Amino acid sequence: MIPTSPNDKDFPWWLVAVVAIGIYLFWQVLTVEEYSRVLSTLRRGIWVTIYVTVVSYTMACVLGLLLALAVLSRSLILRQMARFYIEIVRGIPIIVLLLYVAFVLAPAMVASWNWIAEGIGFDPIRTRDFSLLWRAVIALTIAYSSFLAEVFRAGLQSVDEGQIEAAEALGLNRWQRFRFIVFPQALKTILPPLGNDFVAMVKDSSLVSVLGVTDVTQLGKVTAAGNFRYFETYNVVALVYLTITITLSIALRRFERRMRSR
């Protein structure tokens, strides 16, 4: 019998408090003109936040999985290169990485493209044509890929070695073993941390406001600077992020329970 923690029997009073605060703030938004005006201004920033988060996280998952496979590969060069990337990127704060990608890496990428374009007859591009939105997406992708690589690595290593040997004995090649045996079992292990990192990226996406990307945080700063109603403005900004993150957290928990019951 698996021992249960006292916390498992606790009634979620914290959730009741959160819902009560949320209802109060939503009521303010619906009834107070200043709150309604702020929310209407932030509305287009919500879609920017969601877009940046979804695109960055998808790309980070793909890159993180490739890095994890490189770390676990038989090639010493691939292992060392992947470990070098992971350790370096994990040691740099995300806001510093955002600034570095925006003002160092992006101009370098443009210069490299122009050098190639000159040789093949294509028109060069200017650095300012490289949008700040995509600079932010690239930076978040680089930052989170290093963390997700460790999540994928731990999940892949959690699969019992005997099952891999049995699949090999059945004649499955390396790709088939990974697709049909290793990855489906590892997925159940890595889903909770992947979900947590997705929620964390929603919050970290607010850092793109330092580049002037018009997400929720940036529009909140601009709005507060214009109306000087900091209390009302940042209450709405906090409400937007809380609504997104709590909704995602509850949905991910239910999804995890379904996966465990299978």
Write the CATH number of the domain with boundaries 25-261: 1.10.3720.10
Digit-by-digit pLDDT tens for the chain (262 residues) are: 444 555 556 787 887 887 888 888 888 888 888 888 888 889 889 999 999 999 999 999 999 999 999 999 889 999 999 999 999 999 999 999 999 999 999 999 988 888 888 778 778 888 888 899 999 999 999 999 999 999 999 998 888 877 777 877 777 888 888 888 888 888 888 988 999 999 999 999 999 999 989 899 999 999 999 888 898 899 899 989 988 998 888 888 888 777 766 6
Interatomic CA distance for residues 128 and 107, integer angstroms: 9
C-alpha of 39 from chain center: 24
Interatomic CA distance for residues 209 and 216, integer angstroms: 8
The domain spans of the chain are 25-261
Give the tens place of pLDDT for each residue, 128-171. Answer: 888 999 999 999 999 999 999 999 999 988 888 777 778 777 77
Task: With beta carbons less than 8 A apart as the criterion, state whether 53 and 202 touch.
Answer: yes
Q: What pTM, to 2 d.p., does this model score?
A: 0.86
Interatomic CA distance for residues 248 and 198, integer angstroms: 9
Dihedral through CA 124, CA 130, CA 134, CA 138, nearest 10? 70
Interatomic CA distance for residues 229 and 34, integer angstroms: 8
Q: What is the CA radius of gyration of the chain?
A: 23
Interatomic CA distance for residues 181 and 164, integer angstroms: 7
